[in-house]
Amino acid sequence: MFSPDITVEKLNLLSRGCLVEHLDIVFTEVGPDYLKARMPVDHRTQQPHGLLHGGASVALAETLGSVGATACIDRERYIVAGQEINANHIRGAKQGMVYGTAMPIHTGRTSHVWEIKITDDLGNLVCISRMTVAILEKKKTKE
């Protein structure tokens, strides 16, 4: 399903210098129809009460959904743009890591829908998210 050139190493290199690096989101696995990444629960990702910030969970989810969609398209002709994301925060996390797994629900010509599940170190569901991604044709530059 993914382009053959998509590797964990390449995804982590592309994440340098942006929010993904700041939050220390690290891609850990590219499967036949899923992507996985982890993110620490620490001062960068916690809210004032020491719990994982819901926005950090959404940042992890959107990263996985966007990258998953990008890995499925012809990157010479198209780009992806998030259209909608929702998240249900099921359980708090105070320490350790959280792990996101993104799987496609729909991969159409002009849009994708991805489901992202985020779990804690014990495998407990922390957050479940669904993201809709637009597949947009790159604008041709005038020569």
pTM score of the predicted model: 0.95
Q: How many helices (H) and strands (E) does the chain have?
A: 3, 6
Could you give the CA distance from residue 142 to residue 139 in angstroms, rounded to a whole number? 9
Name the residue type at position 128. Answer: I
Query: Which of 142, 134, 139, 140 has its CA nearest to residue 65?
Result: 134
Q: Which residues are catalytic?
A: 62
CA distances from residue 102 to 27, 45, 68, 114, 139 in whole angstroms, order as listed:
11, 20, 7, 6, 28
| E runs forming strands in 4-108 | 26-30, 35-40, 78-89, 97-107
Query: Which value, to the nearest 10 degrees, does the dihedral of the CA atoms of residues 47, 57, 21, 106 take?
Result: -170
| Domain 8-137 part of CATH 3.10.129.10 | yes
Q: What is the pLDDT of residue 141?
A: 73
Q: What is the pLDDT of residue 59?
A: 98
Mean pLDDT by 10 residues, the chain (143 residues): 92 95 98 97 97 98 97 96 98 98 98 98 98 95 70
Q: What is the pLDDT of residue 143?
A: 65
Q: Where are the domains of the chain?
A: 8-137
